[in-house]
Amino acid sequence: MRLIVENLACRRSGRRIFSGLSFTLEPGEGLMVTGRNGAGKSSLLTMLAGRLKPDAGTIRAEGIGEATLPECLHVIGHRDGLKSALTATENLEFARDLLGHPAASPQAALDAMGLPHVARLPVGYLSAGQRRRVALARLLVCRRPLWLLDEPTAALDLASQGVLAGLMGRHRAEGGLVIAATHQALGLEDARELRIAAAAVDDRCEEDTFETENWL
C-alpha cells in the first residue's frame, strides 16, 4: 500500500498542535516521527488510525482495494490494550479473531517475541517489558500492511529492541509500512524522519479543556 498525507493539521481542545504536515510513504518505507513532548506525535498516529479528526488536510491510502485505512493498520500505543485477566495466548487469540487476516498462531507470535514460556500466564502477572512484547506480538497474529507504533521500545531491554528491529525490517521487506513515534533510535534502517515542530504559543487557546471521546 501507499500512504499519502497532505497538509494535515491538528487541533486538540482548541489548541493548534501542528499544521501543514505532508508526507508520502511507499511500500517498504519507514518513517520516524520525532519532536518534543507534546509536539503531537501520538496525535498524528491517532489521526492516521482514524480515531481523531484532522483539523485540516487529508489522509489517503492507495493499493488497498475496497478496504478502509483503519482495516489496514495495527496500532501499538502507550497503553498496551491487553486484558490483565486473560492469558497471553487468549489476548492474542482475541486480537486475531477481532482483526481478521490471520498470519501467525499466537504461540508462533509469542515464540518470535522470545516469550514461549508466558503463553498460559495471565498478562497481569507479566513484567512491563513482557507485557510490551505481548502487545507487539499482536503485529504478527494478523497481517496488516501499516504499523503505527507509539514509543514501541518503551520498557524493552536491548535484546527485545533488537527483536523488534528485526520484525520491522522483515515487515518492510515484504512491502509493509512502519510509522513510529519515538525519542530514540529504533533500528529502523533507512527510515525517513518527520520532525514535528512545537506550535507557536499565540496560536493556542487561553483555557485548557480536554476531550474524552478519544480516550481508548
Residues at the contact surface with ligand ATP, assessed by CB under 6 A: 12-13, 17, 35, 37-43, 181, 210-211, 214
Query: DSSP label at 34?
Result: E
Shortest Å distance, C-beta 109 to ligand ATP = 26
**Residue with Cβ nearer ligand ATP (62 or 209):** 209
Query: DSSP label at 58?
Result: E
Shortest Å distance, C-beta 38 to ligand ATP = 4
**Residue with Cβ nearer ligand ATP (39 or 123):** 39
Shortest Å distance, C-beta 47 to ligand ATP = 9
| CA distances from residue 59 to 29, 72, 74, 109, 120 in whole angstroms, order as listed | 17, 13, 16, 30, 40
* Phi (first) and psi of residue 14, to 5 degrees: 90, -15
Answer whether 72's CB lies under 8 Å from 143's CB: no
**Residue with Cβ nearer ligand ATP (42 or 161):** 42
**Residue with Cβ nearer ligand ATP (159 or 185):** 185
Shortest Å distance, C-beta 179 to ligand ATP = 13
Shortest Å distance, C-beta 34 to ligand ATP = 9
SS3 content of the chain, % helix, strand, coil (to 5): 30, 25, 40
- What torsion, rounded to 10 degrees, do the Cα atoms 139, 144, 146, 150 define? -30
Burial (Cβ within 10 Å: 0-12, 13-18, ≥19) of residue 168: buried
* Phi (first) and psi of residue 122, to 5 degrees: -60, 140
**Residue with Cβ nearer ligand ATP (41 or 131):** 41
How many residues does the structure list for the chain? 216
**Residue with Cβ nearer ligand ATP (39 or 104):** 39
Quickly list H helices, the chain.
41-48, 88-99, 106-112, 128-141, 158-173
Cα 86 to the center of its chain, rounded Å: 22
